[in-house]
Amino acid sequence: MDYNNMLMHLYDMNEEEIFYKKYYYARQQEYSLQKFLSELDMAEVLRKRLIILEKEETLPPKYLDTFFFDMTDANSIVMQRHNRYSPLFKHAHNYYELMYMYDGTCKQEIMGNEVVLHTGDLCVLPPEIEHTVSIFDDNTLMFNILLRRDTLHNMFYQFLNHDNLLSSFFISDMYSENANEYILFKTGADQAIQGAILRMLWEFENKNLYYNECISSTLMLLFFYIVRSYNDSVKMPQFKNRMDVQRFAMIQYVSDNYRDISLSTLAEKFHYTPEYASRLIKEITGMSYSALLTRIRLERAQEMLINTNMTVSSIAEAIGFEATEPFIRVFKKKMGLTPTMFRKERSKRI
């Protein structure tokens, strides 16, 4: 399908939406619902992974990344249109979901709180957040971008290294026990954002050569454009006061300066004593300062092992280890493999 043809058929109902629309209207009366349920081909329903509220076996306790992603590709990103008329049910997933309201309005319930999305709104949900989405209108369109944790680490490292609200949101989710439930940008009818979303959708549906790279590059540019243009329109429920922002900024600072940071320099940066800074890190992340720093360094090491040809000794130096042997020892303890073995295993998968 060429790009213009996709635009012409953007509002067409797909098979799942036609099914869900019939189901939606059947549920308006008990008689029509029972008739609808009695005529179901349950084998086909289960094969297509359709949701039927009255059939418990169709309700996943949680959506896992194996449900949508190609697990052999660590960099896969999923683009999809949210199915209109799909039944309203509370669910969570172990990947990031970016919801872009292309046209119309929809209501969500996120961790028990109502959030209304309007045209141009971009809402990012981290993993493990319970929510519902309701779209019961032919002329309403919402697009979803699904992003695995590994993909965020591997492909968006450059973005995470910048100090802005969206990167802080991602980093606080990675390392904090009390992260934000969502972040919402209100972009209105911004044609640049609409165009980027549609281009990513076209790439995903056609799957031409390098389509994953095209999607990830477009998404990276979209992130930078949004935080540059719409930083003042952000809605974040968790940060209620200046102290909350400063505490999460500590995590960002450790993530940005992991190579040569120390607890004393971190404390000095935020005008705390080392003891108080250490206590805050534990309170925010559930980890000690040293455990947090080790985790961040090893995540950076994994990225370098996968995406570069750097030697193990060069990686050890790049992430802040004074010698190669302690790095190998710590890496093996945490990962169960030496850095060299880890690199070989990931190369085989790719």
Average pLDDT, the chain: 90
Same domain, 266 and 203: no
Q: Does residue 276 form part of some domain?
A: yes
Distance separating alpha carbons of residues 321 and 330, to the nearest angstrom: 10
* Residues 164-184, mean pLDDT to the nearest whole number: 83
Q: Helix 339-349 and helix 324-335: axis angle, to 10°? A: 50
Last residue of a domain, one of 233, 268, 284: 233
Residues 6 or more apart whose CB falls under 8 angstroms from that of 127 comprise 92, 93, 94, 95, 96, 149, 173
pLDDT at 149: 84
Q: Is the pLDDT of residue 76 over 90?
A: no
Residues 295 and 222 in one domain: no
Is the domain of 143 the same as that of 84? Answer: yes
Q: What is the domain extent for residue 86?
A: 61-233
Q: Which amino acid is at 154?
A: N
Residue 3 is assigned to a structural domain of this protein: no
Residue 144 belongs to some domain of the structure? yes
CA distance 233 to 20: 34
Reported as a single tens digit per residue, the pLDDT across 275-322 is 999 998 988 888 899 999 999 999 889 888 987 899 999 999 999 999
Q: Is the pLDDT of residue 204 over 80?
A: yes
pLDDT bracket for residue 241 (50, 70, 90):
very low
Number of domains in the chain: 2
Q: Are strands 106-110 and 131-134 parallel, antiparallel or unpaired?
A: antiparallel
Rounded to an integer, the average pLDDT of 54-58 is 95
- DSSP secondary structure string for all residues of 72-98: T-TT-EEEEEPPTT-----B-BSSEEE
What count of Cα atoms within 13 Å lies in the side-chain half-sphere of residue 292?
A: 32
Give the residue from 192, 213, 225, 212 showing the smallest Cα distance to 78: 212
Does residue 229 form part of some domain?
Answer: yes
